[in-house]
Amino acid sequence: MIDINPKELICPHCYHVGMSKQGFNERGQQRYQCKSCRVKTIFPIYDADVEVIKENVRLSKQKQKAQDRNRIQNKAFREHARIENAIEEYTKELKTLFENNSLNCTTTKHKTNNKAVGVIQFSDVHFNELVDLENNKYDFSVASKRTRYFVNKAKTYFKTANVSNVVMALTGDLMNSDRRLDELLNQATNRANATFLAVDILQQAIMDLNEDFNVTVASIIGNEGRANKEMGWSRIVASDNYDYTIFQCLHYLFRDSCVKFIHGDQSELVINVAGQNLLMLHGHGSLRGKLDTCVNQIAGRYSLKGIKIDYVIFGHVHSARVGDNFGRSSSMVGANDYSEKALNLNGRASQNCYIFYDDGNRDGIKVDLQNVKIKGYNIEESLEAYNAKSAKKGKQKKTIFEVVV
């Protein structure tokens, strides 16, 4: 029997040189254990060329690295293809909806008074979300009622300052997210139908405002309506967002009307109202930390470009505040399962509106929308046509299949 030094044996698992004896198996065969990976074996490598083994290890690692890289690339390609296919189907269905449904968009041009300009902010509307709590209900019908009530209150507010020009400021999250399972389960209808219903409600709001004012629409995107999982800040990636689609659909509907549309950066937009520079953003990027400090930092960033920011409006956190230098809108939805159970918050539905004056002054109010009793905009036919679920219907139990013995 050849006397073998275990220290010269090589582990067949990790190719470490050096093993120790670990008794015998039931057949009487000598067992060895690797000192590095601790794997036990009765078949260590004898008289092997260590350099050859090291080269094999290097080649194996290189091969595995290439396989991992290809796997990651293929996964990215698959995810991108899924998104592209979903957007293609979404676009086709949305195009069909607009071709088969005509929206009334006859507008009126009013006399202009530039001494005061009204701003009605729509933020975190979350169209297509279903909420059925004891203290809050939300679906397309409720959204329609709250939108109409908000427009009526804003119109009354604007008339106190003899406003003739109004800016509809869309500051993101118009459409509810559908990336998480709980969000998918609480959707009223599919993306294309929800987009059309959202456009239907907002175009009626524009028409309602246009009865008394000249209307300009400006928009930036939020974080919930993005088509991709990751956030994008470049113009091309940022515009891959349902908020942007809704804005473009509205522009298409009013393309031959008196209603004006302001295009620009999809993440941040500066517009001039009564001689004051108003910055619109959603609030999910640069507003992290103490608000006053963040707003001053943003204003400083624009100051370096030679642009003075007089006021900033945003949303995102579903909590209203009207301050000296900024206004933060709450949500049209109010409380939902996530805010109550995950964040331990009990919010109220509300939106903000403002009046800017040419002397540099400005006013702002929060309009509470929690308990609205008026009739909403006319979307009943659309709801029936698209079989959109209500908050109540969304909670009804369904039998998928039943086994009878």
Per-residue pLDDT of the chain (405 residues; tens, 9 = 90+): 445 677 778 888 787 888 888 889 888 888 999 988 898 998 888 765 666 766 777 888 888 888 888 887 777 667 666 666 666 666 666 667 666 666 566 789 999 988 999 999 999 999 989 998 888 999 999 999 999 999 999 999 999 999 999 999 999 999 887 666 666 667 878 887 888 899 999 999 999 999 999 999 999 998 876 666 665 555 555 556 889 889 988 998 898 899 999 999 888 999 999 999 999 999 877 777 788 889 999 999 999 999 999 999 999 888 899 999 999 999 999 988 766 766 566 789 999 999 999 999 999 999 999 999 999 998 877 777 666 676 555 555 544 445 554
φ, ψ of residue 337 to 5 degrees: the values are -60, -40
Handedness of CA 224, 226, 230, 235 (dihedral sign): negative
Query: Which of 127, 121, 119, 240 has the alpha carbon at shortest distance from 173?
Result: 127
Q: Which residue has the tokens 């203290």?
A: 135
Task: Kindly list the distances between the CA atom of residue 126 and the CA atoms of 21, 61, 81, 133, 265, in Å, as whole numbers in the listed order.
Answer: 67, 49, 26, 16, 22
Distance CA 251, CA 259 (A): 9
pLDDT of 399: 46
- Judge whether 349 and 136 are in contact, CB under 8 Å: yes
pTM: predicted TM-score of the whole model, two decimal places: 0.73
3-state secondary structure (DSSP) of residue 134: coil
pLDDT of 28: 87
The beta-strand segments (E) located in 129-250 are: 131-133, 136-138, 165-171, 214-220
pLDDT of 79: 66
Contacts of 224 (CB under 8 A, 6+ apart): 126, 172, 173, 175, 176, 177
pLDDT of 291: 83
pLDDT of 127: 92
The DSSP code sequence of 157-169 is HHHTTT--EEEEE
**330's tokens:** 């709450």
Query: Which of 172, 175, 203 has the alpha carbon at shortest distance from 189?
Result: 175
